[in-house]
Structure 1
Amino acid sequence: MIEINGEKIVLTEVTDQDIDTLYYWKYEDKQQEAKKWNGPYTPEEEITKEMYRQNWNHDIFPHVPSSLVIRCDGKAIGYVGCYWVDKNTNWLETGIVIYDFNYWNGGYGTQAYKLWIDYLFKVTDIHRLGMSTWSGNIRMIKVAAKLGMKEEARIREARIINGEFFDAIKMGILRREWK
């Protein structure tokens, strides 16, 4: 069982209880605060809890899961994840979401994302890691920059949120820059 400990959070593999908690935050929570920041421009169809559970059951590399749960105070508050952009150039896209807004603005996301990036570079031979967001998600852009990611692309007015245009932002970091 993978367990990566930080000062504030722990990253672990998902449990059945985590699936229930994360499913609640993603699909059943009435406030849906995280969706206002985490890709609000992409309509998301609700899936069953069983389908959600099945989505967690794959590795990005042998014995390297594509996602880990962020735990704080003994409970799941979000997750970090990744997916392939291009296996030929050894490029993964990464992301993070903290659903529980009680853990926003306290450094939890920065620490979780840093531990995730560090883990991916340590246990794989990945060449580059990237992330995508929108220009209104200032917190994510600041976290990525704080961890050394560089803005690599800005696609002007490519996202519409609440009837207003925003830029799509792509940021990334190379293995040699992380070291």
Structure 2
Amino acid sequence: MIKLIGEKVSLREATQEDVNELYYWKYEEKNQEAKKWNAPYLPEKQLTKEEYMNLWNQEYELFPGVPPLLAVLINKKAVGIVSCYWMDKHTNWLETGIVIYDSDYWSGGYGTEAYRMWIDFLFESTHLHRLGMSTWSGNIRMIKTAAKIGMKEEARIREARIVNGEYFDSIKMGMLRREWESHRSKSCNRKEYRGELKH
């Protein structure tokens, strides 16, 4: 089992308990604040608990030992996920994402640490050339989080998204492997997370 431990958060392959908690946050929690920011312009079908569990149980790896998503744990509770998917396998380009469902942890650096750990893990565990992410101009927190870990804005498609009847830009940010290496060397004085790989 993959488990990455940071100062405030940890990432791991989801246990049954984690999946139950994440299903609650994604579909059953009343306020659903995360859905107001995490691609609110895309319609999303509600899955049954069984269908959602099947997503986590699929034997699917992007690379050996690299699953497409991990649970984000804060105070030993699963409150979010980090994810990735291929944009172009031929050019070693993955898109990545993060969502913290519990809004109590939307400040204090939790998301930034989790996202940095995920990006570090993906670059360290693969030969990927670039990682990217997509969001909309109203999601200021995600844009700032990506910038903090070293991503650069690469494209802005003007007024391409509609949220609550208002137009917003579509934003694409990314990082090349050499930029990640440079960014890591500049921030080497920060405390690194500890990665534990358990089989």
The bucket for the TM-score relative to the shorter chain is: over 0.9
Q: Take 1:170 and 1:2, find their aligned partners in 2: how far apart are those partners?
A: 28
Verify: 1:4 aligned to 2:9, yes or no. Answer: no
TM-score (normalizing by structure 1)? 0.98
User: Normalised by the size of structure 2, how large is the TM-score?
Assistant: 0.88
Partner of 2:150: 148
Q: Which has the higher contact order (CA 8 A, sep 6+)?
A: 2
Number of matched pairs = 179
Q: Partner residue of 1:41?
A: 41
- Alignment partners' CA distance in 1, 2:177 and 2:49: 36
Instruction: Provide the residue aligned with 2:193 in structure 1.
Output: none
Moved over 2 A (4+): none
- The amino acid of 1:102's aligned partner reads D
Which residue pairs with 1:24 in the alignment? 24
Counterpart pick for 1:170 among 169, 172, 190: 172
Aligned-pair distance for 1:70? 0.7
For 1:43, the aligned partner's letter is: P
**Equivalent residue letter for 1:28:** E
CA deviation after TM superposition for structure 1 residue 106, in Å: 1.2
1:73 to 61, 72, 75: 75
Counterpart of 1:165 in structure 2: which amino acid? Y
CA–CA distance in structure 1, aligned partners of residues 147 and 140 of structure 2: 11
After superposition, the C-alpha distances for 1:78-99 in whole angstroms (9 at most, x for unaligned) are 0100000110000000000000
Secondary structure of the structure 1 residue equivalent to 2:104: helix
Structure 1 residue 53 displacement after superposition: 1.4
Q: Give the deviation of 1:20 after TM superposition.
A: 0.8
The answer to whether structure 1 residue 138 and structure 2 residue 140 are counterparts is: yes
- 3-state SS, counterpart of residue 60 of structure 1: coil
TM-align CA RMSD = 0.7
Q: Distance in 1 between matches of 2:153 and 2:87?
A: 17
